[in-house]
Amino acid sequence: MSTTPASALVILNQPSRHAPGSLDDVAPMRFVDPDAFHVGVRDLGITRGDGIFETIGAVSGTPQALEAHLRRFARSAAALDLPEPDLDAWRAAIAAVTDALAGHSEAAIKTIYTRGIEGDGRPTGWVHGFASSDFTAARQVGLRVVTLDRGYRHDIASTSPWLLQGAKTLSYAVNSAALREAQRRGADDVIFVSSDGVVLEGPTSTVLLFREGQLVTPGPGLAILDGTTQNCLFAFAAQRGIPTALELTTIEHLHSASAVWLVSSVRHAAPVTAVDGIPRAAESELTAQFNRYLAERDA
């Protein structure tokens, strides 16, 4: 009987065809010890948070929404002027790590791509997978959220692309600080709001609302990530005949909607049970349907 490791790590030799490889050997990728050191202190990923990532859910060895994640990964790379990622190389590395963790019912697969060691022109790339935490409570009991100012106007991405809103960068210190602020306020998670009062996204999730018979996500034209899980749930809604829409959303909508969720690739759909300390209702049956659908995706 083989045992499944708790985690697996693959380093890519050449994460982009447009830049030289990063390793001395010529294998396109190699498995290495996830607990050993693999990053240099001059890597711009750590000195400047100058890189991008995706976190992909895997269910029993199948990565979910893989192509949507890879498309967003490539868009993030372009936003940061990183060399275009070699998506075939990334696909192969993701498959290798996912296969290695197929014994886990749920795993998280992180792709990390940095500008590499300052000045040498070789980007750094790896895929790190690990067994997921147990998100049963978040999925079934739900999350208390607080709304926090994101500081930017809702349309900042269209005027100021150097602010990198809408790219999934390694510069996530603000997202982590926001989650600590939520804990200080007795909550579990955060919904960011623009300086002009528009609901944006969570630090690591997309906001979904069920409102006036429609499944709604904030948009269009907002300075937020294109949600891979939200897109899957819109496809589910289309199958079920539930209308969907991108709509400018306010905090008042978070209170008045029939249901609100934070959706993300690994935690899946977590109902929001309170906003800024005010309890709100959930749609348990729809939540359960969402999570069954997300768990059973085969691509």
Q: Which residues in this chain contact a second copy in the complex, by CB under 8 A?
A: 9, 34-51, 53, 79-81, 110, 112, 114-115, 126, 128, 148-153, 156, 159-164, 169-178, 180-181, 195
Q: Which of 147, 135, 140 is nearest to 182 (CA)?
A: 147
Q: How far is the CB of 50 from a second copy (least distance, A)?
A: 5
Q: How far apart are the two ends of the chain, measured CA to CA in Å?
A: 28
The residue among 138 and 170 lying less far from a second copy, judged by its C-beta, is: 170
Do 54 and 72 meet the contact criterion of CB atoms below 8 Å apart?
Answer: yes
The whole-angstrom separation of Cα 287 and Cα 147 is 22
Report the distance separating Cα 43 and Cα 286, nearest Å: 44
CB 259 to a second copy: min, Å: 27
20 or 161: CB nearest a second copy: 161
Q: Shortest gap between Cβ of 53 and a second copy (angstroms)?
A: 7
CA–CA gap between residue 57 and residue 238 (Å, rounded):
22
Instruction: State the Cα torsion 235-241-246-249 to the nearest 10°.
Output: -120
Closest CB to a second copy among residues 153, 297: 153
For residue 165, the minimal CB distance to a second copy (Å) is 8
Cβ-based nearer residue to a second copy, 52 or 209: 52
Asked if residue 83 has a cis previous peptide bond (ω within 30° of 0), the answer is no
Q: Which of 169/265 has CB closer to a second copy?
A: 169
Residue 86 corresponds to which amino acid?
Answer: D
Q: How far is the CB of 80 from a second copy (least distance, A)?
A: 7
For residues 48-66, b (16+ Cβ closer than 10 Å) or e, as one string?
eebbbbbbbbbbebbbbbb
Minimum distance between the CB of residue 289 and a second copy, rounded to whole angstroms? 32
Which sign, positive or negative, has the C-alpha torsion 174, 218, 84, 78?
negative
Looking at the Cβ atoms of 169 and 264, the one nearer to a second copy is 169
